[in-house]
Structures are given as C-alpha cells and as structure tokens.
Structure 1
Amino acid sequence: MGPRVRPLREEDRELALGLCAADPVGNVLAAVQVEMLGRRRLPGAELLGVWREGELRALCWSGANLVPVTVDEPELLDAVADHVRNRGRRASSIVGPAEQVLGLWDRLGPGWLPSREVRGDQPSMAISATPAVEPDPRVRLSGLEDLDVVVPACVAMFTEEVGYSPLASGGAYAARVHELVSTQRSYVRIEDAPEGRRVVFKAEVGACALGVAQIQGVWVHPEHRGQGVAAPAMAAVVEDVRRRTAPVVSLYVNGYNTPAIATYRRTGFEQVGTYATVLF
C-alpha cells in the first residue's frame, strides 16, 4: 500500500514533533507549525502528514510557504507533490533542507508557474555557545516607539533580498513587523543621522521551536557596511536570544553571500546543513 496524505490533527502533534526533532535546526520552520497544532488555524493552510503502513513518515507545512520535513524518499515526495499540486499553487516559496526542497520542486515544477529564482545552496548555520566576539552594547530589543524606523528598514531589507516591496501585497508585512516587535523578537541598533533616527542594524527571531531560534531579516544600513558592524551586533543578538529564548541560535544565508558567511563564522556560527529556497 502506497503513502497516504492527510492533514495532521492535534493528537498527531507528538509524532510530528518526533519527526522534526531528528534535525531541530533544519526543521525549525515546520516545527513551529507542529507545536501550534490544535491551537491555531490559518485559513487556506494545513499541516500535511504522510503515512505509510500506519506510521507517520513525513510531513509538509502548506501555507504561505511550503516547508517539507523528512520527505527525501522518492515515494514520499511523490505523495506530497501530488497532494499539493491538486490544491493549486498558493505558496510564495518552498523553503527548508535543500535535498527535500529541491526534490519537491523537481516534481512540482512542470505543473506550477515558473519560479522567479531557485536558491539551491544556502548554508544553514548554528551556534550554541558564547559568541566569539564581544557583543555590541548598542543593540537592543526594539519597542513600539521604534516602528517608524523599524518598518522602513524591514521593507528595505526584504526588497533588497527578494526583489520587490512586501508592501505591494497590502498591510500584512507591516503587521508581521509589529507582531515581532511587540513579542520582543526584534533587535535593532538605532542612531541619530542628519535626516533623523536611522536603523544601523536589525535582525528578528523569525521562528522558534524545539529549543532552536532561527534568526531572519539580518540587515545593515548600506552606509554602515564594511565597517565591522555586523559581527558584534549578531553577537549581541545571539547572547540575548540564548539567555531569553532558546539555547541554539540558527540562520541560513545565500551561498553567494561570502561577506555574510564570513561574518557569521567570525561570530561563532558553524555550518550544520544546507537550505534551499524556491521563490515564486
């Protein structure tokens, strides 16, 4: 009997978390959704389980993004791809461990709209110790009073990274930034400039599950790049996140971004895997 795909239910949470725990850093994005099973329902989104012979063998978060977990066996990838394809394309990206993402994309590609970009080599890096450089004491949690400069900095980062403004699709992005700030997951270094206050550095805890906090949205203002800002700033983020949130701090970075990779290594991050992202 072949694999069977069905949405996971609250009673499946522990089994699904067990799958994610095989690689907590690689699977943190999906594990966030698994931990929320039965507690929150997002319209149009579902957490898919792949069952074979009565055993949960794989899963895939299908929402704003597609995030596969342990679906690296061809038969399991086929089952996920068939289910997702029949629902039509809803996700803005496929993201996660590279082997699984690229395997899923190989199966979905012919039936979906063309991708804008495939980033197949994104080192997944983590740190679980004291940073290797002194933290910048000017980096702090942002507050709601900082939103006037934090939101534009986040928009600038997203536009630079993805190629279009996130504000083009409405107010959801600004609402997400507000959520991160209000839940103390947004870090900034802000300084005065001739035009007014300026975000020099920013980063957010974009996901946290299974003792892993994934940092996203790292950005240095263009006028401050090449000045040694990023490593001490990241050290400050790591130090506070490990103290308040999770013992392991992770991130993933484009393989071609050698300056960023060097900065993270200088901070104390080590590569533990490889991510991939397919952007639509």
Structure 2
Amino acid sequence: MLTVPVRQLGESERRAVERLLDLDPYAGAQVAERVAARGLAWWRAEGRVLGYGSRRSLESLCWLGGNLTPVLASGPAVAAFAEQLAGEERLCSSIVGRADAVLGLWDRLSAAWGPARDVRPNQPLLATDAPPPLRPDPRVRRVRPSEVDLLFPAAVAMYTEEVGVSPLVEDGGRGYRRRVAELVRAGRAYARIADGQVVFKAELAVVTRRTAQVQGVWVAPEWRGRGIAAAAMAAVVSDALARVAPTVSLYVNDFNRPARRVYERCGFHPVGTLATILF
C-alpha cells in the first residue's frame, strides 16, 4: 500500500500546482503553459494532473495527456506515479521530463507499456536570459499567416527527421497543420526564406511567464554546412527575449553536436538534463 497516495488534482489546488511549477520553470514549462491556459478542471484541461503529497504539502506533479511529464518527481513520487499508471492503458505518445524521473518511470512502466520506439536518455536542457553575443541574422523573421503553406513542408520535414515518423500518418496531417498555423498566428514561428523556400525555421512551441521554449529548429539539408544556423538562432533568441519572455530555453539530443555548438555560441548554458521515451 502506498503511504502517500497519488490523486488527480483539481482547480482548488491550482495555487499549489503553480508554486511547484515555478520551482522548475524549464523542465515543467509545457505543463505550466497548459495549466495557465486551461486550469486543472478535467473537462477542459486536455489532460490530467496527478499529484503526490499531502493536501497541505504537495511535493510532485505528473501531467498525463498527449505526453506524460513528471515535474519535481522524487524517487518515492516516481514509484507512486508508476504504480498508479501501470494499471492504465497507455494513451500518451511520449514520456518527457527530467532524466532521473523519466527513466525511473520507464523502468517501472516498460513491462506494461513497452516496447518503446526510441529511448533518448540524455538531452541537455539549456537556457539563456541575455541577448546573444553574435549578430542576429536580419533575414530571419516571424512567419506571416499567408505563409503557412510555405512553412508546412519544412515543419513536416523537421518533425519526420527529429521524431522518426511523419506527422502526416495520423489524420493526414490535419492536426499538425492546425498546430503550425496556431503558432504562426500567435507570432511564435520564425523562418528565413530564400527564393520562395524556407531554409531555416524554429518555433516558440511553449511560452510561459518564465520562459519561451524553442522547438522545431531546422535547416534545409542543402543549406547545412554554410554556417547560417547560429545567426538565425540569435535572431530568434533576440526577438523572444525582447517580446515574449524573460528567458529562452530548449533541449537537444546529446549526440547532436553541431546543434549544441550553435546553442553555445548563442549564449545558452546547461540547466539540467531531460530524457524522452517515444512510442
């Protein structure tokens, strides 16, 4: 029997949830964005937030929606979340969060939820709060709503390359296209366009009051090796810091050394390590 049971959290505990999310503003950014936008009411949150700890002292969180994301999950909390989830059908497409918690969950859930399509155990989490020390590329700008059709093929290519499956497989890509269009309308998609082709792109996929998290960074294959990525990323970081949030963050696969060098040149520094389990 668990001495501290896991429970689904509701709107009455929102302040406690927000306090925990403020303690881990980078790894918990996606959860923080969803809670800020939709609260904790199950019928409108598009996911559940599970809590570990007493009602007077909430210790850890676990978001369960399209992704499973533990936040500030201690060893006992990981064990408790895993015991709760092992009896449920897996509906999430990934588990992502701080590496120790994600890998601990996977150790306990793999028998019930496996096999995984890919396990990425070491993804440096990086952040910056200062303008980049190199000159931003003035040709990188926010994508206009009229350019969604131009951006979408590049977004599909990035997703397929990064995740290993095409976003067009499920529903013909309609949901993914809506997501791309939403980011464009919100002023959160950036690109450098040359001769009618997207040669660089990136999005602020997650925005909270604490950070803007960059995802979807991509350079067209024929433009790789020309040295455009660092100045392009500098443009994204500069605009995000000036217009969107007090910090910019992202995470990257440890084996992607070219990308890590780009982010280092743009002033990013390590703030932790994430892991991702892909299904």
- Could you say which residue in structure 1 is the equivalent of 2:256? 257
- Could you say which residue in structure 1 is the equivalent of 2:31? 30
Tell me the secondary structure at the aligned position of residue 227 of structure 1.
coil
Pairing 1:65–2:64 present: no
Following TM superposition, by how much is the alpha carbon of 1:54 offset from its aligned partner in structure 2, in angstroms? 4.0
Following TM superposition, by how much is the alpha carbon of 1:39 offset from its aligned partner in structure 2, in angstroms? 7.2
Task: Mark the CA change 1:224 to 1:41 in structure 2 (over 3 Å): closer, same or farther.
Answer: farther
- Could you say which residue in structure 1 is the equivalent of 2:54? 52
Following TM superposition, by how much is the alpha carbon of 1:113 offset from its aligned partner in structure 2, in angstroms? 2.5
Structure 2 counterpart of 1:178, one-letter code = A
- Could you say which residue in structure 2 is the equivalent of 1:12? 13
Tell me the secondary structure at the aligned position of residue 255 of structure 1.
coil
- Could you say which residue in structure 1 is the equivalent of 2:175? 172
Tell me the secondary structure at the aligned position of residue 255 of structure 2.
coil
Equivalents in 1 of 2:49, 2:188: separation in Å?
A: 24
Q: How many residues align?
A: 275
Spell out, residue by residue over 1:154-212, the C-alpha distance to the aligned partner (whole angstroms, 9 max, x if none): 000000111111011111111110111111111111110xxxx1101100011112411
Stretches of 4+ aligned residues off by more than 4 angstroms: 38-44
Structure 2 counterpart of 1:181, one-letter code = V
Structure 2 counterpart of 1:72, one-letter code = S
Query: Contact conserved, 2:145 with 2:181, CA < 8 A, in 1?
Result: yes
Query: Contact conserved, 1:2 with 1:52, CA < 8 A, in 2?
Result: no
Query: Contact conserved, 2:34 with 2:45, CA < 8 A, in 1?
Result: no
Task: Mark the CA change 1:53 to 1:17 in structure 2 (over 3 Å): closer, same or farther.
Answer: closer
Structure 2 counterpart of 1:177, one-letter code = V
Equivalents in 1 of 2:208, 2:81: separation in Å?
A: 23
Following TM superposition, by how much is the alpha carbon of 1:55 offset from its aligned partner in structure 2, in angstroms? 2.0
Structure 1 length-normalised TM: 0.94
Equivalents in 2 of 1:136, 1:278: separation in Å?
A: 34
Give the alignment's Cα RMSD to 1 decimal.
1.6
Tell me the secondary structure at the aligned position of residue 95 of structure 2.
strand
Q: What stretches of structure 2 of length at least 5 have no aligned partner?
A: none
Query: Contact conserved, 1:201 with 1:230, CA < 8 A, in 2?
Result: yes
Following TM superposition, by how much is the alpha carbon of 1:114 offset from its aligned partner in structure 2, in angstroms? 0.2
- Could you say which residue in structure 1 is the equivalent of 2:187? 184
Pairing 1:272–2:274 present: no
Structure 1 counterpart of 2:110, one-letter code = G
Please show how residues 188-207 of structure 1 align to structure 2 within 5 Å.
188-192=191-195, 197-207=196-206
Structure 2 counterpart of 1:109, one-letter code = S
Pairing 1:233–2:232 present: yes
Equivalents in 1 of 2:229, 2:44: separation in Å?
A: 35
- Could you say which residue in structure 1 is the equivalent of 2:82? 81
Equivalents in 2 of 1:49, 1:225: separation in Å?
A: 44
Spell out, residue by residue over 1:23-60, the C-alpha distance to the aligned partner (whole angstroms, 9 max, x if none): 21122122122323157845862111122374211111
Using the aligned pairs only, state the percent identity: 47
Equivalents in 2 of 1:111, 1:173: separation in Å?
A: 28
Tell me the secondary structure at the aligned position of residue 50 of structure 1.
strand
Query: Contact conserved, 2:24 with 2:71, CA < 8 A, in 1?
Result: no
Pairing 1:218–2:220 present: no
Query: Contact conserved, 1:30 with 1:68, CA < 8 A, in 2?
Result: no
Query: Contact conserved, 1:29 with 1:96, CA < 8 A, in 2?
Result: no
Q: What stretches of structure 1 of length at least 5 have no aligned partner?
A: none
Tell me the secondary structure at the aligned position of residue 25 of structure 1.
coil
Please show how residues 139-158 of structure 1 align to structure 2 within 5 Å.
139-158=140-159
Equivalents in 1 of 2:42, 2:9: separation in Å?
A: 13
Equivalents in 2 of 1:42, 1:202: separation in Å?
A: 31
Structure 2 counterpart of 1:213, one-letter code = A
Tell me the secondary structure at the aligned position of residue 153 of structure 1.
helix
Structure 2 counterpart of 1:260, one-letter code = A
Structure 2 length-normalised TM: 0.94
Equivalents in 2 of 1:181, 1:85: separation in Å?
A: 38
- Could you say which residue in structure 2 is the equivalent of 1:243? 242
Tell me the secondary structure at the aligned position of residue 86 of structure 1.
coil
Query: Contact conserved, 1:49 with 1:60, CA < 8 A, in 2?
Result: yes
